[in-house]
Amino acid sequence: MSRIENPKYRVEKADGAIEIRDYAPLIVAEAKVKGERRAAINEGFRLIAGYIFGANNKSAKIAMTAPVQQMPDEPVDPESPGRFRDLESWTVSFVMPRSWTLETLPRPNDSRISLRPVPGKRFVVIRYSGLAHADKIDRKTAELEGYAAKHALRASGPPLLAFYNPPWTPPFMRRNEIMLELDG
C-alpha cells in the first residue's frame, strides 16, 4: 500500500469500475501548459515537481501526492474520434497535502504555477489500469459519458484525467481515472 496521500472522498455509489464520489475541499498547485497531451503533462509535472521540491519562497519541501491531474483548457468535442489528440492547452495539477493551508503553503518561485482552493465537489469516475494512451482515454471517457447519460447524471466541464503512478510502474498495476464533475 502506498504512503502517498490521495484526496479524501466518499463513495456514494459503486458500479463496477465506475463510482460516484463526493470529494472534500482541497488545494491544488497548477500550471497552464501548451502542447499535445503527453508533452503537456510532462511539462506541467516538471514545473509543479520543482515547486514541491523546494522552488518556492521558503525553499520548503512539500510531500508528493497522487494523482497528477490533467484537464483540457479548451472545449472537447465528444463526437470527435481522438477527441484529446488535437488539443493544445492544458491545466496540470497536484493536490496539496491536507496538512497545508492556502496561508501556510509557500509561494511558487515560478509565476506559471498558481495555488487554488477547490471546494468540495461531486464526480462520476471511471477507473482503469494500463497505459494512458489517447485511444484508451477516448474509449474510457465515452464509456463514462454513456454511463452518466444512462443514469441521468449531468456532467459539467471537461473530463479531468487522473494518473496515480510513476512511469516505472508496470502497466497492469497502474491506476488511472477519468472524472466528470456533476451538477448538483
Return the amino acid letter for 11: V
* Percent of all residues in the chain with a pLDDT value above 70, rounded to a whole number: 98
SS3 4: coil
- pLDDT on residue 87: 85
Q: What nine digits make up the cell of 109?
A: 518561485
pLDDT in tens, 40-67: 999 999 999 999 999 999 999 999 999 9
- pLDDT on residue 1: 43
CB contact burial 144-159 (16+ within 10 A = b; e otherwise): bbebbeeeebebeebb
> What does the pLDDT average to over 116-128?
98
- pLDDT on residue 76: 78
Q: What is the CATH number of domain 9-182?
A: 3.20.80.10
The residue whose grid cell reads 465515452 is 142
* DSSP structure class, residue 165: S
- pLDDT on residue 99: 97
Q: Evaluate whether 113 touches 48 at the Cβ level (below 8 Å).
A: yes
Can you tell me the distance from the alpha carbon of 23 to that of 101, in angstroms, rounded to the nearest whole number? 17
Question: pTM higher than 0.75 for the full model?
Answer: yes
Q: Cβ neighbours of residue 87 under 8 Å, at least 6 residues apart?
A: 36, 37, 72, 74, 76
Q: Evaluate whether 129 touches 69 at the Cβ level (below 8 Å).
A: no
> What does the pLDDT average to over 4-31?
97
Residue 75 pLDDT grade (very low, low, confident, very high; cuts 50, 70, 90) = confident
